[in-house]
C-alpha cells in the first residue's frame, strides 16, 4: 500500500491513538467517529463508545450523519436520552474521554466554539456549544482538535472552560470534576500537551515536514517546547487501510471529493449518486 496520507487521515489516526482500552468514550459526528472505530479495531477493543444523544456501547457500521444516527450502527448495549447522558453519565464521572473541535483556544486550553467577534455583533457564528461545555467540565480528560481554528491570547467568547487561568485554578473553582481538563490538543502542525503544574500548553510533537518555527508563527504567546520534542509517528499501512475502508470520503476530504465529483459531472439523482460514490470508494481505496 502507498503510505502517503492526507492531513485528515493523520489527525484521525492521532485521535485514535489517544483512546485507551476499557475507556468510556463520548463522540459526536465527524472525525472522532472514524478515530474511535479505528481504535476499537486496533488497540482498544473493550472501549465503550457513547453518543451525546444516548446510544451506549454502539458499534458503528458506517460513518454517522448525526449524534442520533441509530441506523449507522450494528447495534448497541442500551439507549438513554440526551438529558440522562449529562446527569447520569457525565456529571457522575462516568465519561473517561471526550473530543471537542476548537474555534479559538488560549494557552490554558479554554476554548471558544460559539462566535468569532463580539457576541452581539459577531463576524461568524460557530456551531457550539451543544454539549461541549458539559462534557469538557465533567469528562476525566478531553482531547481537543484544532483544524481551521486559531490560537489566541484572549478568547472572543468562553464556551468551554479548560484550565481557566492556569495552575490549580480549575480544581480550586470547585465547579469541575477534580483532575479533569484538556490532556491533548491536535492541530494540523503538531500535538500539544499541558504542563502538569502550570497547566500551560506546550509543543510535544511536530508533524513530519513541519518545523517548530512554522508552528510558532501561528501562536501569539511565547510557546514552550518540550525538551523531549519528537516528530509525530506517521500512520502505519494498517491504520491507513482501516481508515480508508471505513470512511474514504473523509480520508480525501469533503472539498476534494466534491471537486472530483464535479469534474466527473456527478448526476444529481440519489440512485446514480450512490453508485458513483461506491465507484469512487472502490477506485481509490479498494484492497489490492
For residue range 244-278, list pLDDT tens digits in order. 998 888 887 767 666 666 665 545 544 555 555 55
- pLDDT for position 269: 45
- For residue 162, give every residue at least 6 positions away whose Cβ sits within 8 Å of its Cβ, in sequence order, or none: 105, 106, 108, 109, 110, 111, 136, 170, 181, 182, 199
Percent of the chain with pLDDT over 90: 65
Active-site position among 9, 18, 23, 52 = 52
22 pLDDT exceeds 60? yes
Q: Give the mean model confidence (pLDDT) for residues 192-214.
A: 98
Q: Cα–Cα distance between 126 and 134 in angstroms, integer? A: 17
**R_g (Cα) of the chain, nearest Å:** 19
Task: Tell me the domain boundaries of the chain.
Answer: 7-252, 254-288
Largest CA distance in the chain: 59
> Which of 53 and 234 is assigned the larger pLDDT?
234
Q: How much is the average pLDDT of 153-160?
A: 97
The average pLDDT across 103-117 equals 97
Strand partners, 145: 101, 186
pLDDT in tens, 26-43: 987 667 889 999 999 999
Average pLDDT over residues 227-251: 93
- Topology classification of domain 7-252: Glutaconate Coenzyme A-transferase (3.40.1080)
State the Cα–Cα distance between residues 42 and 68, nearest whole angstrom. 25
HSE-CB of 112 using CA atoms within 13 angstroms? 26
Whose grid coordinates read 523531549? 228
Give the percent of the chain with pLDDT over 70: 85
* φ/ψ bin of 23: left (φ > 0), alpha (ψ from -120 to 50), beta (otherwise): beta
When comparing pLDDT for 88 and 31, which is higher?
A: 88
Check pLDDT > 90 for residue 149: yes
Q: 3-state class of 37 per DSSP?
A: helix
| Annotation says 52 is catalytic | yes
Q: What ranges make up the beta strands (E) of the chain?
A: 24-27, 48-51, 55-56, 78-79, 97-101, 104-105, 111-112, 115-118, 121-125, 141-146, 150-151, 182-187, 190-194, 201-206, 224-231
Report pLDDT for 278: 58
Instruction: Report the mean per-residue pLDDT for the chain.
Output: 88
169 three-class SS: helix
Question: What is the pTM assigned to this prediction?
Answer: 0.86
DSSP state of 71: G
Kindly indicate the confidence band of residue 288, based on its pLDDT and cuts at 50, 70 and 90.
very low
Q: Collect all residues with Cβ–Cβ distance below 8 Å to 86 and sequence separation of at least 6.
A: 131, 134
Query: Is the Cβ–Cβ distance between 243 and 13 less than 8 Å?
Result: yes
Q: Is the pLDDT of residue 123 over 90?
A: yes
74 vs 204, higher pLDDT: 204
Q: Which of 147-161, 237-251, 265-279 has the lowest mean pLDDT?
A: 265-279
Q: Is the pLDDT of residue 176 over 90?
A: yes
Stretch 231-246: mean pLDDT: 94
Residue 196's CB is within 10 A of a number of other CB atoms, namely 6
Amino acid at each position: 500500500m502507498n503510505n502517503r496520507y492526507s492531513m485528515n487521515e493523520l489527525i484521525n489516526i492521532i485521535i485514535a491513538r489517544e483512546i485507551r482500552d476499557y475507556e468510556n468514550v463520548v463522540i459526536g459526528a465527524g472525525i472522532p467517529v472514524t478515530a474511535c472505530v479505528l481504535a476499537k479495531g486496533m488497540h482498544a477493543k473493550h472501549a465503550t463508545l457513547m453518543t451525546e444523544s444516548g446510544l451506549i456501547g454502539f458499534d458503528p457500521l458506517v460513518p454517522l450523519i448525526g449524534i442520533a444516527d441509530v441506523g449507522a450502527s450494528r447495534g448497541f448495549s442500551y439507549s438513554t436520552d440526551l438529558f440522562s447522558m449529562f446527569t447520569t453519565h457525565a456529571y457522575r464521572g462516568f465519561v473517561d474521554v471526550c473530543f471537542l473541535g476548537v474555534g479559538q483556544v488560549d494557552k490554558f486550553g479554554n476554548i471558544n466554539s460559539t462566535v468569532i467577534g463580539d457576541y452581539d455583533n459577531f463576524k461568524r457564528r460557530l456551531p457550539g456549544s451543544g454539549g461541549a461545555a458539559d462534557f469538557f467540565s465533567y469528562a476525566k480528560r478531553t482531547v481537543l482538535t484544532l483544524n481551521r481554528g486559531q490560537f489566541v491570547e484572549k478568547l472572543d467568547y468562553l464556551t468551554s472552560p479548560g484550565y481557566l487561568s492556569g495552575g490549580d485554578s480549575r480544581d480550586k473553582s470547585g465547579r469541575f470534576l477534580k483532575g479533569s481538563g484538556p490532556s491533548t490538543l491536535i492541530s494540523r502542525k503538531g500535538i500539544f500537551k499541558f504542563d502538569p503544574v502550570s497547566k500551560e500548553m506546550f509543543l510535544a510533537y511536530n508533524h513530519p515536514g513541519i518545523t517548530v518555527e512554522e508552528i510558532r508563527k501561528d501562536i501569539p504567546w511565547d510557546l514552550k517546547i518540550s525538551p523531549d520534542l519528537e516528530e509525530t509517528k506517521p500512520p502505519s499501512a494498517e491504520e491507513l487501510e482501516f481508515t480508508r475502508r471505513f470512511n474514504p470520503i473523509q480520508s480525501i476530504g469533503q472539498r476534494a471529493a466534491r471537486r472530483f465529483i464535479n469534474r466527473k459531472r456527478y448526476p444529481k439523482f440519489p440512485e446514480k449518486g450512490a453508485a458513483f460514490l461506491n465507484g469512487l470508494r472502490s477506485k481509490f481505496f479498494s484492497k489490492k
